[in-house]
Amino acid sequence: MILFDNVTKFYFDDAPPAVEGVTLSIKPGEFVSIVGHSGAGKTTLLKMLFAEVFPTQGSVFFGDHEIPRLSTRELLKLRRNIGTVFQDFRLLPTKNVYENIAFALEVAGKSDEDIQADVPHVLDLVGLGEKIWSFPHELSGGEQQRVAIARALVNQPDVLIADEPTGNLDPINAHDVVEILKRINDLGTTVLLTTHNKAVVDSVGRRVVTMDQGKVVRDDPHGTYVL
């Protein structure tokens, strides 16, 4: 389903590559944790999947699509098919919880009736049904992250990318978020998770890809966090 084909990414000509010669294949329905120190290339690898950066060499495939060759219109469509969750939540600060999630549905072309039905439903799924009219600044970090997950999920994407989703959370909230990700994966969505957090990786107990200095140094189908 997803294939990183010998990808290398240079941000600057005179600096070492952020990602170097990575080949990685991910099947539908997998839960893959990508671990490594800061600067190991985890985030760059994920960014290439939702076309925020493009590889300098090699290519990235999503299904039948070669991402660097897609037009702007096709890339926007691809992004609607990939849910993204980040360490800094990236919610729309001037929109309330309902509007944040509705926005993702609107750009996917859903009708007002569908949106009114889907938003409360997905919020119940992440346990935030009561906070539907709150603004992001009125929520705790854990709650904001759950809104971000709800937004990523609401279009029923094929893939959910979670880039350090527990980085700003306390252990209890981090545990809750991982449980939600596991549940989403159980429902058939492919999940790509990057993290520094050993407890998180160990609790997932699925495939672990370890990166170091831009390269994949270990790919363990039932791994734990080893650096």
Partner 1 sequence: MSLWTNVKRVSRYGFIGFIRNGLVSVAAVFILIIALFFQANLMISNAAMTQTLEELKQKVGITAYFQPTATEDQVMATKQALEALPEVALVTYTSRDQALADFRERHANDQLTLQALDELGENPLGASLDVQAKEPSQYETIATFLDARQTEGTSGIDKVNYSDNRLAIERLGAIIDSSQKNGITKEIILGICALIIVFNTIRLTIYTARDEIGVMNLVGAGHWYVRGPFLVGGMFYGLIAAVIVLVLMYPILRFYPVLIGLDPTAEILFGSFDSFGYYIDNFVLFFFSIVGAGIGLGVVSSYLSVRRYLKM
The number of CA neighbours under 13 Å toward the Cβ of 80 is 15
CA–CA dist 154, 160 (Å, integer)? 11
**Site map 163..202 versus partner 1, x via CB under 8 A:** ----------------------------------------
CB 10 to partner 1: min, Å: 19
CB 135 to partner 1: min, Å: 9
* Binders in 60-119 for partner 1, by CB under 8 A: 72-73, 75-80, 84, 90-95, 99, 103-104, 106-112
CB 84 to partner 1: min, Å: 6
As given in the structure block, the two tokens for residue 145 are: 């992250």
Question: Mapping DSSP to helix (H, G, I), strand (E, B) and coil, where does residue 168 land?
Answer: coil
CB 91 to partner 1: min, Å: 7
Contacts of 194 (CB under 8 A, 6+ apart): 33, 34, 35, 36, 42, 43, 46, 162, 163, 164
Amino acid (1-letter code) at residue 217? V
Number of residues in contact with partner 1 under rule CB under 8 A: 29
Task: Supply the Cα-derived Rg of the chain in whole angstroms.
Answer: 17
- Beta strand 190-195 with 159-163 is parallel
| Closer Cβ to partner 1, 106 or 170, answer by number | 106
The region that residue 51 occupies, defined by phi over 0 for left and psi between -120 and 50 for alpha, beta otherwise, is left
Give the one residue of 25, 52, 198, 227 binding partner 1; rule: CB under 8 A.
52
* Binders in 134-153 for partner 1, by CB under 8 A: 151
| Closer Cβ to partner 1, 54 or 61, answer by number | 54
| Closer Cβ to partner 1, 78 or 149, answer by number | 78
The DSSP symbol for 69 reads G
The number of CA neighbours under 13 Å toward the Cβ of 59 is 10
Binding site for partner 1 (CB under 8 A): 50-52, 72-73, 75-80, 84, 90-95, 99, 103-104, 106-112, 151
